[in-house]
Structure 1
Amino acid sequence: MQRNASALFTSCVIRRIFLMAEITKHFTFTVRCFFVYDISLYP
């Protein structure tokens, strides 16, 4: 039981880390798009 709970907690943490990585990647991509858009808007 204890080992099962530990494995469940570990998989949850790993999933959360992957989710944060995806959010960070999308956020960086969005910021980069806005940045490029601003540069092209104001040459």
Structure 2
Amino acid sequence: VVRSIVTGTPMWPTFESGHHITQIVDACMESSRLKRWVEIEPS
């Protein structure tokens, strides 16, 4: 809690970080299905 107050960062994930995690998980699933590397589009 103190670190969050001092740095001004949230203590929990934001919607933005959740979106990035979802992009990574989706890419992992697609990569597994296609049996190849896939690109993750920057947001």
**Which has the larger share of helix?**
1
1:38 matched to which residue of 2? 32
Number of residue-to-residue matches in the alignment: 26
Q: Report the Cα offset of residue 36 of structure 1.
A: 0.1
CA distance in 1, matches of 2:16, 2:23: 11
Structure 1 stretches lacking a partner, 5+ long: 1-11
Alignment of 1:1-43 (within 5 A): 16=10, 20-41=14-35
Letter of the 1:29 counterpart: Q
CA distance in 2, matches of 1:28, 1:36: 12
Q: TM-score, normalised by structure 2?
A: 0.51
Letter of the 1:30 counterpart: I
Higher relative contact order (CA 8 A, sep 6+): 2
Structure 2 stretches lacking a partner, 5+ long: 1-7, 36-43
